[in-house]
Amino acid sequence: MKLSLIAVGRLRKGPEAALIDDYLQRFKRIGRGMGLGPVSVIEVEDKKGGGKAGEAVLLQKALPAGAVLVALDERGKLLKSPEFADKLAGWRDQGRGELSFMIGGADGLHKSLLSQADLTLSLGKMVWPHMLARVMLSEQLYRAASILANAPYHRE
Residue 50: its pLDDT value, please? 83
Domain membership of residue 46 (yes or no) is: yes
- On whether residue 30 sits in a domain, the answer given is yes
Whether 153 is covered by a domain: the verdict is: no
Mean pLDDT by 10 residues, the chain (156 residues): 96 94 97 94 89 94 97 96 98 97 94 97 91 96 96 81
Report if residue 21 sits inside a domain. yes
Interval 93-114: pLDDT, tens: 999 999 999 999 989 999 999 9
Please state, in angstroms and rounded to a whole number, the distance separating the CA atoms of residues 128 and 49: 22
Task: With respect to residue 64, please indicate whether it lies within any of the assigned structural domains.
Answer: yes
**Residue 30: domain span:** 2-148
Q: Residue 63: its pLDDT value, please?
A: 97
pLDDT at 48: 81
Give the CATH number of the domain where residue 139 resides: 3.40.1280.10
Count CA within 13 A, CB hemisphere, residue 17.
7
pTM, full prediction: 0.94
